Structure 1
């Protein structure tokens, strides 16, 4: 069942998205409500899955400096095996299924070009992969994922 969010829930989620470690007292003060209200809202948002967890955002200096996206086509009925092999590669960060010309969108990260090149060679060599096209990320202009 989908939970209806009111203005307070939305504002609270926005504050937590900016700083998930913000103290309850600070959140309450910024929202103009009691600490118990904030804690109860957070508990409810967690229980309903609206807040699925908290994560660490890695600073730009600590992130892998070289990122790429591989667009991958696979033979019919080999997708599960290909995804399994992709997940074994340490450079592979995220694998999405896709509609259209390509079946998978593979996000890759590495600290050096040799490692990135090795990962791309390994992806192309996976049994069931029929084509792969790679896009190396040059710079990030917009990032709303963090």
Structure 2
């Protein structure tokens, strides 16, 4: 269900996406409203599910995860939810998306090296009961990566 947001809500969300650690008083100054307005709006946006959590965005390269791949995965009929839940629990799997056309799931996987990636795919991903097949798309260059 789409939330009913006004221009201030959208500016507030955009500000928090850029820096969720910014104090409410600084956000209020930037948006030209009171700190209380910011606090109330954030509370409302959390209640509506617009803001799910406050988190940090880390650079995977700095953490040594320089290899990125997307994995198209087919699941055995009737086991898609089970497979998706198990894959979602793997540390190397950054994202899990159910797809419509090519495969059942699209995974974003991060690894320290090509050999590390091969092990993750061969052992961790293909080792999940219910995985019928995979196709790996290695990333050569990232032009945009945003939350």
Tell me the alpha carbon deviations over residues 90-109 of structure 1, each in whole angstroms, 9 at most, x when there is no partner. 32222221111311112111
Q: Secondary structure of the residue that 1:133 maps to in structure 2?
A: strand
Runs (5+) with no aligned partner, structure 1? none
Q: Normalised by the size of structure 2, how large is the TM-score?
A: 0.86
Q: Normalised by the size of structure 1, how large is the TM-score?
A: 0.86
**Contact 2:75–2:131 (CA under 8 A) maintained in structure 1:** yes
Runs (5+) with no aligned partner, structure 2? none
Question: 1:107 aligns to what?
Answer: 108
- From the superposition, tell whether residues 75 and 41 of structure 1 become closer, same or farther in structure 2 (CA, over 3 Å): same
- Give the number of equivalent residue pairs: 145
CA distance in 2, matches of 1:114, 1:49: 39
Q: Secondary structure of the residue that 1:38 maps to in structure 2?
A: helix
* Structural RMSD (CA): 2.0
Runs in 1 of length 4+ with deviation above 4 angstroms? none
CA distance in 1, matches of 2:88, 2:28: 41
CA distance in 1, matches of 2:63, 2:18: 19
Question: 1:93 aligns to what?
Answer: 94
**Contact 2:71–2:109 (CA under 8 A) maintained in structure 1:** yes
- From the superposition, tell whether residues 87 and 37 of structure 1 become closer, same or farther in structure 2 (CA, over 3 Å): closer
- From the superposition, tell whether residues 15 and 136 of structure 1 become closer, same or farther in structure 2 (CA, over 3 Å): same
